[in-house]
Amino acid sequence: MPLLSRHSTGAASAGLGSRGACPDTRASLSRIQAFEPGCRAPREEATLRALVYTNSFPRLAATKLLSTLSRRAFVGPLAPIRLREIPAPELPAPDWLRIRTGLCGLCGSDYKQVFLNGAFDNPMTALISFPQVLGHEVVGRIESVGPDVDPGRVGQRVLLNPWLSCAPRGLPPCEWCQRGELAQCRNFTRGVLTRGIHQGNSSQATGGFAPLLPAHESQCIPVPDDVGDEAAVLADPFSVSLHAILRWPPPADGVALVYGCGTLGLLAVAILRLLQPRVRVLAVTRYAHQARLAEKFGAKRAIPHRPERGVIAAVGEALQLEAQQPWRGLPMLNGGVDVVYDTVTAPKTLEVGVRVTKPHGSIVALGVEPPRRFEWTPLYFKELSLVGSNAFAIEQWEGRRQHAMEWYLEFIRAGSLDVTALITHRFALEDYREAFLACGDQGRSEAIKVIFDRF
């Protein structure tokens, strides 16, 4: 029976880099120019309207200060992100092409960056460059190609695999890329491109918050005719959750807790139901609309995220486990779930997670919240595994290996998966302020996946 329903790549929050402009900013938008020799279609427009994020300390400081008065400051006239007219993107090498954006999803990493939810000492800032055109959840059509690309690809509808690993950089594959682990590539600062781990956080490999973007031919995964754009645009976040579950699966008859039910969490619930139907899934949700969808996707119980003591009690009740109360602070279960998929990964969610996971269980961190202290003694006492999960790769399921996005397309075509109801809001690019504010206040907007559909 198809799963019916109504966005970290856990990437770094990139807008909080060094005090001055990133060195690659000196290359600036002038690098994005037309690649005449590579065109095998009529030349695109010389300029285009794009949503550009600049690493300007005065803008960052002013926005942070003004945001104490209104959240609209994050998308206001002094914010680092603005609609700007920029030159059409160049092709950095002859095996690149241009994609006309059809739909582009807003990832949690995108709006965390816009809302300045990051840290100045984040080491991932070593791997990015500015200015940026964000947006890596892209479905579109190939508009023109470089001289080394088959001209027959023009007009092909494709998904963007956004990772700027060895092949897009014109380099021989490193040991990680040879294994298909593109998100662990060793060369995110080398090759023909400016620094960047994926499309949208390299100044040269601009993203989908624009009508046109460049991509390497290997990044373009064909979309079958019987898969619509609305389904296709969810391939990236689906792949993030699929990677985490395939890498750290629960036992066949086990219990999994999905902590946080935004796009990644709800997709995790759907994937667990699809791939491991005997696993009992509990879901921690922040809002009522998330709870409804979690249960529709297959969660046995949706648990309100606050109070934290209530989460522990609800898990204990569901599993018929005793809660052990310390002198102070949160109780700890005598036992617990087999695995927690923490799509938030905030100090509070980790503090609860180590208390509700059984000995030798796993907590899989998919979120990108800034770190802070939490009481983590159960981590060592229960000998838990706290592991990170970054994006997606070539994934193995039932003895076959293929790209995570190809698994997604296969599941859709088999009729076993429909998660398009996750898309709750659609905006034109020029209405980006309302799009980001909907993401920033999901209790009011009831947003889950927000997309741009007009450019």
270 and 249 in one domain? yes
119 falls within a domain: yes
Share of the chain above pLDDT 90, in %: 87
245 and 210 in one domain? no
* pLDDT higher than 50, residue 32: no
> pLDDT value at position 6?
31
439 and 366 in one domain? no
β-pair type (337-342, 357-365): parallel
> Pick from 388, 407, 439: which residue ends a domain?
388
Question: 368-377, 379-388, 429-438: lowest mean pLDDT where?
Answer: 368-377
224 and 365 in one domain? no
114 and 92 in one domain? yes
Instruction: Decide: pTM greater than 0.75.
Output: yes
172 and 54 in one domain? yes
* pLDDT higher than 90, residue 448: yes
Share of the chain above pLDDT 70, in %: 90
* Owning domain of residue 270: 241-388
Confidence of residue 371 (pLDDT cuts 50, 70, 90): confident
421 falls within a domain: no
216 and 328 in one domain? no
9 falls within a domain: no
246 and 230 in one domain? no
* pLDDT higher than 80, residue 3: no
384 falls within a domain: yes
14 falls within a domain: no
> pLDDT value at position 44?
58
| Three-state SS sequence of the chain | CCCCCCCCCCCCCCCCCCCCCCHHHHHCHHHCCCCHHHCCCCCCCCEEEEEEECCCHHHHHHHHHHCCCCHHHHHCCCCCEEEEEEECCCCCCCCEEEEEEEEEECCHHHHHHHCCCCCCCCHHHHHCCCCEECCCEEEEEEEEECCCCCHHHCCCEEEECCECCCCCCCCCCCHHHHCCCHHHCCCCCCCCCCCCCECCCCCCCCCCCCCEEEEEHHHEEECCCCCCHHHHCCHHHHHHHHHHHHHCCCCCCCEEEEECCCHHHHHHHHHHHHHCCCCEEEEEECCHHHHHHHHHHCCCEEEECCCHHHHHHHHHHHHCCCEECCCCCCCEECCCEEEEEECCCCHHHHHHHHHHEEEEEEEEECCCCCCCCCCCHHHHHCCCEEEECCCCCEEEECCEEEEHHHHHHHHHHCCCCCCHHHEEEEEEHHHHHHHHHHHHCHHHHCCCEEEEEEC
220 and 281 in one domain? no
| Mean pLDDT along residues 349-369 | 96
Identify the CATH number of the domain in which residue 135 sits.
Answer: 3.90.180.10
> Pick from 358, 388, 418: which residue ends a domain?
388
214 and 160 in one domain? yes
399 falls within a domain: no
Instruction: Report pLDDT digits (tens) over 36-72.
Output: 433 434 455 799 999 999 999 999 999 999 999 999 9
15 falls within a domain: no
* pLDDT higher than 90, residue 80: yes
227 and 262 in one domain? no
Instruction: Report pLDDT digits (tens) over 108-130.
Output: 999 999 999 988 888 999 999 99
210 and 161 in one domain? yes
> pLDDT value at position 29?
38
* pLDDT higher than 70, residue 10: no
Domain count, the chain: 2
> pLDDT value at position 163?
98
| Mean pLDDT along residues 256-282 | 98
* pLDDT higher than 60, residue 171: yes
Confidence of residue 370 (pLDDT cuts 50, 70, 90): confident
Identify the CATH number of the domain in which residue 271 sits.
Answer: 3.40.50.720
> Pick from 388, 413, 445: which residue ends a domain?
388
Confidence of residue 170 (pLDDT cuts 50, 70, 90): very high
50 falls within a domain: yes
